[in-house]
């Protein structure tokens, strides 16, 4: 779980073949991290550097293997 701007965002840790363990979160978090042309704060930048990939909000709760396969397809 990541807290940002008084909201909590789900996260998952996935083990990807080419990248090892990575942190995944949601696009709703990503939307708050980025302003029109830059990060909204230094904390936003730090969070973005921690998160490997952002998925749609409804996808974050997919079964582990399904989520892992989805992310693998997207990052290749």
Per-residue pLDDT tens digits for 17-43: 999 999 999 999 999 999 888 999 999
Token reading at 61: 């709760």
Instruction: Give the residue-averaged pLDDT of 3-21.
Output: 96
Q: Residue 65 above 90 pLDDT?
A: yes
Distances (CA, A) of 73 to 5, 11, 18, 64: 31, 19, 12, 14
Q: Are 56 and 24 in contact (CB under 8 A)?
A: no
Q: Residue 76 above 90 pLDDT?
A: no
pTM: 0.91
What are the residue ranges spanned by the domains of the chain?
Answer: 2-75
Distance CA 32, CA 13 (A): 21
């Amino acid at each position: 779980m990541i807290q940002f701007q008084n909201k909590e965002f789900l996260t998952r840790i996935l083990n990807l073949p080419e990248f090892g363990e990575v942190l995944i979160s949601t696009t709703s978090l990503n939307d708050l991290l980025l302003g029109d042309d830059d990060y909204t704060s230094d904390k936003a930048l730090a969070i973005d550097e921690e998160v490997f990939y952002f998925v749609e909000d409804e996808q974050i709760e997919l079964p582990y293997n399904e989520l892992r396969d989805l992310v693998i397809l997207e990052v290749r």
